[in-house]
């Protein structure tokens, strides 16, 4: 069966997450249903990461095995047709080797979290950002984020339901960007690592917000990390502002 890699974008608001559920709608189910309209014997697809309920994606990657050796462009067009009107789109489809795997071939995963600070309610970005009312100190948040770079025990930033074998992870990048708007500011948190623990990104961003709001200091972030205690974590940020933005592979199936 020929194998294809799919580059996927979605708004996670109406879904219970990526992974197929018995009752609740999922992104995986939506794509598999569309695929089986064009290739009825398509088996379960695999993804680079299982995003949580409400989390979005601009660069999720999955692979599928099909009976027919489709032209990749026609496959993309056909699946997108059957995905309507759901907020899910296949951005690209490419033929890959049978051994290539969306999850196990991945070398890194990238996430961006968007946070808006303004008093007026967010209208055009509603459901797509986390809103707080007061401005934050981006410099302090970056200083605190730097304390998390490298290899650490991230138990503090790990969900109690996380199924990973170890809390040890290596953070390769946490960058905080500040953007000015006429009536507020947007802060973007860019995180990059080979893999993440369950809720790790949202836990880190929630704790960085405490630093930006000056309830915590960067030194407090170090203490929280070294505590290796989930109860020491700041409030977990909502899923609205979190985006899976990309997955890195040695073979670069999509050319980047």
pLDDT digit string, tens, across residues 5-59 = 999 999 999 999 999 988 899 999 999 999 999 999 888 999 999 999 999 999 9
pTM for this structure?
0.95
What 215-220 contacts at long range (C-beta under 8 Å, 24+ apart), as own/partner pairs, is: 216/144, 217/140, 217/144, 218/140, 218/143, 218/144, 218/146, 218/147, 220/144
Of the pLDDT bands very low, low, confident and very high (cuts 50, 70, 90), residue 216 is very high
pLDDT at 162: 87
Of the pLDDT bands very low, low, confident and very high (cuts 50, 70, 90), residue 81 is very high
> What is the C-alpha to C-alpha distance for residues 249 and 245, in angstroms, rounded to an integer?
14
pLDDT at 103: 96
Span 144-172, pLDDT tens digits: 999 999 999 999 999 988 888 999 999 99
180 an active-site residue?
no
Total number of residues shown for the chain: 256
Of the pLDDT bands very low, low, confident and very high (cuts 50, 70, 90), residue 188 is very high
Pick the CATH number of 3-105 from 3.30.70.580, 3.40.640.10, 3.40.50.360, 3.40.50.1370: 3.30.70.580
Of the pLDDT bands very low, low, confident and very high (cuts 50, 70, 90), residue 211 is very high
Residue found under tokens 């138990």: 155
State the maximum Cα–Cα separation within the chain, in Å, rounded to a whole number. 58
The active-site residue out of 39, 52, 65, 98 is: 52
Beta strand 242-249 pairing with 106-117: antiparallel
pLDDT at 144: 98
Average pLDDT over residues 91-103: 96
> What is the C-alpha to C-alpha distance for residues 130 and 236, in angstroms, rounded to an integer?
11
Average pLDDT over residues 94-115: 97
Residue 1 has pLDDT above 90, yes or no: no
Of the pLDDT bands very low, low, confident and very high (cuts 50, 70, 90), residue 182 is confident
Please choose, from the candidates 172, 22, 27, 4, the residue with its C-alpha nearest in 3D space to the C-alpha of residue 94: 4
Domain segments of the chain as ranges: 3-105, 107-245
Domains 3-105 and 107-245 share a fold: yes
CATH fold of 107-245 reads Alpha-Beta Plaits (3.30.70)
Residues forming a β-bridge with 191: 111, 174
Beta strand 3-10 pairing with 88-96: antiparallel
Of the pLDDT bands very low, low, confident and very high (cuts 50, 70, 90), residue 130 is very high
> What is the C-alpha to C-alpha distance for residues 71 and 94, in angstroms, rounded to an integer?
9
Residue 72 has pLDDT above 90, yes or no: yes
Indicate the average pLDDT of the chain.
95
């Amino acid at each position: 069966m020929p194998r294809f890699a799919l580059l996927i974008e979605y708004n996670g608001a109406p879904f219970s997450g990526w992974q197929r559920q018995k009752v609740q709608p999922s992104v995986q189910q939506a794509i598999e249903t569309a695929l089986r309209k064009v290739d009825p014997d398509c088996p379960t697809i695999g993804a680079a990461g299982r995003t949580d309920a409400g989390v979005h994606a601009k660069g999720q990657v999955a692979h599928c095995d099909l009976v027919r050796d489709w032209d990749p462009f026609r496959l993309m067009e056909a699946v997108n047709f059957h995905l309507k009107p759901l907020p899910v789109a296949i951005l690209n489809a490419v033929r890959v080797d049978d051994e290539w795997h969306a999850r196990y071939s991945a070398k890194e995963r990238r996430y961006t979290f968007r946070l808006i600070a303004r008093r007026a309610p967010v209208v055009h970005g509603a459901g797509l950002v986390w809103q707080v009312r007061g401005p934050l100190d981006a410099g302090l948040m970056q200083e605190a984020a730097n304390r998390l770079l490298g290899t650490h025990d991230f138990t503090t930033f790990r969900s109690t339901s996380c199924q990973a074998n170890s809390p040890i992870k290596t953070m390769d990048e946490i960058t905080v960007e500040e953007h000015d708007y006429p009536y507020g500011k947007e802060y973007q948190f860019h995180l990059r690592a080979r893999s993440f623990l369950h809720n790790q990104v949202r836990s880190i961003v929630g704790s960085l917000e405490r630093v930006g709001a000056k309830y915590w200091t960067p030194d407090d972030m170090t203490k929280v990390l070294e505590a290796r205690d989930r109860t020491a974590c700041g409030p977990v940020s909502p899923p609205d502002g979190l985006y899976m933005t990309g997955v890195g592979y040695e073979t670069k199936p999509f050319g980047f």
